[in-house]
Structure 1
């Protein structure tokens, strides 16, 4: 499931991911992406992971389609959580995209938010 969190920046999508992400979750995010891109802005992400177990198949497929369509529309991304795999995922995302992606430990949420707002 994906919950939308309050964001302090017009081009920031802040979400909390728990359980499994579904196609409906990804479609909600896609609408938010379009709302930002249609204003000529890059999309920044704050993604907080808590007991996240990945995607169901339709959710994964939808996420892949969205990322392919908006590859060049993404700016900064903060991955926040307490799992070692998140740090590796952030490094891989940073390497394979033009985005600036960083991992922050759950205890460092505020630093992640400050980094995203510092542009």
Structure 2
């Protein structure tokens, strides 16, 4: 299944909804949107929602790694929402690559994830 990304941004909050297997081309479309939000609003809060997600191609993983290095300090909170056990593991794996607070939520707790990512006090 080809990957799809939908991005909705409002101020410093960006919702990223992904499905399928993400390719380098998909990253080339949505990373500039994130970088524009960073330039406009500073540190971002990201709600990353995975539905029927199958991971990344090697090229997309490289693009993700480059984004993480370039924006190590540009994220405030990242709520990762998913359906699968490995997605939870991915949230733990991501923590050393950002100064952001990163937390995983099951898809059934999407609203709780949305609330958490918008909180202003440290968790």
TM range (shorter): 0.7 to 0.9
Aligned to 1:4: 6
Q: How many angstroms apart in 1 are the aligned matches of 2:4 and 2:43?
A: 21
Question: Could you give the per-residue CA deviations for residues 42-72 of structure 1, whole angstroms, max 9, x where no partner exists?
Answer: 1221111122111122212211111111111
Q: 1:79 to 1:111 in 2, by over 3 A?
A: same
Number of aligned residues: 118
TM-score (norm 2): 0.83
Runs of 4+ in 1 over 6 A off after TM superposition: none
Secondary structure class of the residue paired with 1:71? coil
Structure 1 segments unaligned to the other structure (5+ residues): none
What is the 5 A alignment of 1:108-119? 108-119=109-120
TM-score (norm 1): 0.86
Secondary structure class of the residue paired with 2:21? strand
Q: How many angstroms apart in 2 are the aligned matches of 1:96 and 1:30?
A: 16
**Is the 2:12–2:41 contact (alpha carbons within 8 Å) kept by the matching residues of 1?**
no
Aligned to 2:25: 24
Structure 2 segments unaligned to the other structure (5+ residues): none
Give the C-alpha shift of residue 15 in structure 1.
Answer: 1.4
Question: Could you give the per-residue CA deviations for residues 1-49 of structure 1, whole angstroms, max 9, x where no partner exists?
Answer: 2322444x41122112111111122122221222122125112211111
Secondary structure class of the residue paired with 1:72? coil
